Amino acid sequence: MSATAVGSPFPAAAAVAQRRRRAVQARCSSALAAPILDDLRLRCATPLHLLRHVADAMAADMRAGLAADGAAELKMIPSYVYSLPTGDETGLFYALDLGGTNFRVLRVQLGGKDRRVVDSESEQVSIPKEIMHGTTEELFDFIAARLSSFVATEGGNFRLQEGRKREIGFTFSFPVKQTSIDSGILIKWTKGFAVSGTAGKDVVACLNAAMERQGLDMRVSALVNDTVGTLAGAHYWDEDVMVAVILGTGTNACYIERSDSIPKLQHLGLVTGNTIINTEWGAFSDGLPLTEFDRDMDAESINPGEQIFEKTISGMYLGEIVRRVLAKMAQESDLFGHSFADKLAEPFVLRTPHLCAMQQDGSNDLGEVELILRDVIGVNRSSLAARRAIVEVSDCIVKRGGRLAGAGIAGILQKMESDSSGLVLGRRTAVAMDGGLYENYPQYRSYMTEAMAELLGPRDSAHVVVEHTKDGSGIGAALLAAANSKYVAKSSA
């Protein structure tokens, strides 16, 4: 008689029973998670009537913000850009793009209508942490030194016209109170910067002084934020571009406004022409469909009660909202069995690129979802039902974000249409888009354009074109430096 291993005398039957137990557990977990998912679907729903309310409220808030500072959630900040690039610009111009832990320097040689951008070069520089936490002079001297080194490599197709001083467009993506096209007072540092002595100072004057200390013969001729730079860069190639939107880690939108539609600037006597308005739409909140997960995340954020639209639609927050939903499901429904992955309790451990990868998973067993759960959240075993539920949760949050972004854009277009007596949507109108969320997340992109089409209707939406403008803010700043050069006659945007 042959010996047998200790265990069940019927190994095949035991395996079948174990599979059945797992299947039952998965169904039970899924059933317990279902009410949470159903409630999420209900609270994140964006039917047409809700989107219409959001678009109308956005337009109303824009008007209030244009009437007076502090009268609305949207700040509606004038850019003081009255001259957009036309294509006639010629010469060598520089740009500095400062908006995070890296900054970029760029130069462009412009050749007028026939040759447009003859050549361009750029370089990215990482800012050491001690500089980010140092003094104003230390930061701007560091930037000016790197800029000086970049200028020293000028050659080839890049030639400064005789008798001219170099001019630079400065993209500065921090809160400033802009007072002219080439001046702006820093309100406060964000994004991890804690530079002493800058708040309340003109950042253009700080940069000009640092360049002078470096012996660099250059002046700032345009101060812009990244959204304004994106619009200018896109408008250079396509004069139908009227709106620019950033949809990435953060979000913002700007558009071309008639000067006579800005009551708070009437004291300047701007009766004709156009300018670019920076909406700072991340602060909008009227009528947004929020959940307990949004409110909890907002309450624990560094700016509770602020930037609600941004927290609902931008790449920084989508993954975190999904994580909070999954944490509740895991606690209340044994979504991942009887254990709770500790990593699931870590804020921002799940990022928007993870959601995107899971939604792209077309395999029968959702293997990519399983890998992300294991590698990112520490869930070593998950049922197919659980993986499907996770994809559905992701879709709920991403669909809401994309459709609300679309409603915001439609609101801007409808406000422009109403104020222009039908001169915007009756012809081709382009919206320039930049940012990794729009570029890399196809579902989000589809939900956004779908909502725009629903709100604008078939006739008007047929005239609206969404154009992807990758990294447009840098070259846009250089083009605005050219359009606002002291060496050319000014014309209205």
Per residue in 192-228, pLDDT (tens digit) is 888 999 999 999 999 999 999 999 999 999 999 999 9
Contact 99, 171 (CB under 8 A): yes
Q: Helix (H, G, I), strand (E, B), or coil: what is residue 170?
A: strand
**In whole numbers, what is the pLDDT of the chain averaged over residues?**
89
Weakest-pLDDT range from 64-78, 266-280, 439-453, 470-484:
266-280
pLDDT-derived band at 18, boundaries 50, 70, 90: very low
Contact 460, 425 (CB under 8 A): yes
Residue 370 has pLDDT above 70, yes or no: yes
- Give me the long-range contacts of 354-363 (CB less than 8 A, separation at least 24): 354/319, 355/318, 355/319, 355/322, 355/394, 355/397, 355/398, 355/441, 356/440, 356/441, 356/443, 356/444, 358/390, 358/391, 358/394, 359/391, 359/394, 359/395, 359/398, 359/443, 360/442, 361/391
Q: pLDDT at position 341, please?
A: 78
Q: pLDDT at position 31, please?
A: 60
pLDDT-derived band at 11, boundaries 50, 70, 90: very low
Q: pLDDT at position 465, please?
A: 96
Q: pLDDT at position 13, please?
A: 40
Q: pLDDT at position 7, please?
A: 36
Q: Of 61, 202, 226, 334, which is the active-site residue?
A: 226
Q: Helix (H, G, I), strand (E, B), or coil: what is residue 247?
A: strand
**Rounded-to-integer distance, Cα 482 and Cα 493, Å:** 13
252-296 per-position pLDDT tens digit = 999 999 988 899 988 776 656 899 999 999 999 999 999 999 999
Residue 389: which H helix or E strand, with range?
helix 384-419
- Give me the long-range contacts of 356-359 (CB less than 8 A, separation at least 24): 356/440, 356/441, 356/443, 356/444, 358/390, 358/391, 358/394, 359/391, 359/394, 359/395, 359/398, 359/443
Q: Of 191, 201, 470, 490, which is the active-site residue?
A: 191
Residue 357 has pLDDT above 50, yes or no: yes
For the segment 310-332, the average pLDDT, to the nearest whole number, is 95
Q: pLDDT at position 22, please?
A: 45
pLDDT-derived band at 30, boundaries 50, 70, 90: low
pLDDT-derived band at 25, boundaries 50, 70, 90: very low
Q: pLDDT at position 474, please?
A: 84
**Cα-flanking dihedrals φ and ψ of residue 261, to 5°?**
-105, 15
Q: pLDDT at position 486, please?
A: 83
pLDDT-derived band at 27, boundaries 50, 70, 90: very low
230-242 per-position pLDDT tens digit = 999 999 999 999 9
**Rounded-to-integer distance, Cα 489 and Cα 478, Å:** 17
Q: pLDDT at position 334, please?
A: 77
Q: pLDDT at position 286, please?
A: 97
What does pTM read for this prediction? 0.88
Q: What percent of the chain has pLDDT over 90?
A: 71
CA angle, 245 then 250 then 253, to 5°: 25
Residue 104 has pLDDT above 60, yes or no: yes
381-419 per-position pLDDT tens digit = 889 999 999 999 999 999 999 999 999 999 999 999 998
Q: pLDDT at position 177, please?
A: 86
For the segment 117-137, the average pLDDT, to the nearest whole number, is 93
Q: pLDDT at position 278, please?
A: 94
Q: What percent of the chain has pLDDT over 70?
A: 91
Q: What contacts 350, CB < 8 A, 6 or more positions away?
A: 319, 320, 322, 323, 326, 376, 377
CA 357 to chain centre: 19
For the segment 288-313, the average pLDDT, to the nearest whole number, is 95
139-159 per-position pLDDT tens digit = 999 999 999 999 999 988 898
Active site residue 191: yes
Q: pLDDT at position 267, please?
A: 79
